[in-house]
């Protein structure tokens, strides 16, 4: 049987939904969907779609990795989420520079994304040390 994944507090968890990083990534994905609904309609297949897929990738890979049977796979999926964080940050900066999101409203999203990235990196480092 698979050993439960550890959150950064080293507490055994029963579900990916208990992971703090999953909760924050889920909130980020919801926020991205709400924010991008205000993007210009001509971006529906461009930046809107890209940013949404990226946000969903972050949270989905955390969940999928948690369910994997091997530690190496879990780390790999967390690493994919971390890469998607960098992709999402780039897309948020593009949206800001294209004036789809104001710098003031983009700040909290970028801070949340940096926090998710930091937690993912910490988890990867701890899990590699097991």
d(CA 34, CA 26): 13
Q: pLDDT per residue over 15-68, tens digit each?
A: 899 999 999 999 999 999 999 999 999 999 999 999 999 999 999 999 999 999
Q: pLDDT per residue over 88-116, tens digit each?
A: 999 999 999 999 999 898 889 999 999 99
Domain with residue 99: its CATH number is 1.20.1440.60
* Of 64, 62, 54, nearest in space to 32 by CA: 54
In the DSSP assignment, the letter for residue 4 is: P
Q: Is 104 within a domain?
A: yes
Total domain count, the chain: 1
pTM of the model: 0.88
d(CA 91, CA 73): 27
pLDDT of residue 4: 43
Q: Is 34 within a domain?
A: yes
pLDDT of residue 10: 56
Q: Is 111 within a domain?
A: yes
For 67, the domain range is 16-128
8 Å CB contact between 63 and 81: no
């Amino acid at each position: 049987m698979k050993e439960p994944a550890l959150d950064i507090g080293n507490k055994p968890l029963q579900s990916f939904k208990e992971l703090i990083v999953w909760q924050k990534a889920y909130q980020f994905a919801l926020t991205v969907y709400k924010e991008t609904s205000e993007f210009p309609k001509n971006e529906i297949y461009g930046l809107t779609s890209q940013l949404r897929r990226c946000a969903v990738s972050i949270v989905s890979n955390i969940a999928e990795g948690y369910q994997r049977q091997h530690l190496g796979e879990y780390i790999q999926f967390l690493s994919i989420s971390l890469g998607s964080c960098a992709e999402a940050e780039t897309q948020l900066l593009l949206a800001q520079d294209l004036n789809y999101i104001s710098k003031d409203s983009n700040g909290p999203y970028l801070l949340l994304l940096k926090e998710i990235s930091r937690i993912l990196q910490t988890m990867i480092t701890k899990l590699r040390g097991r």
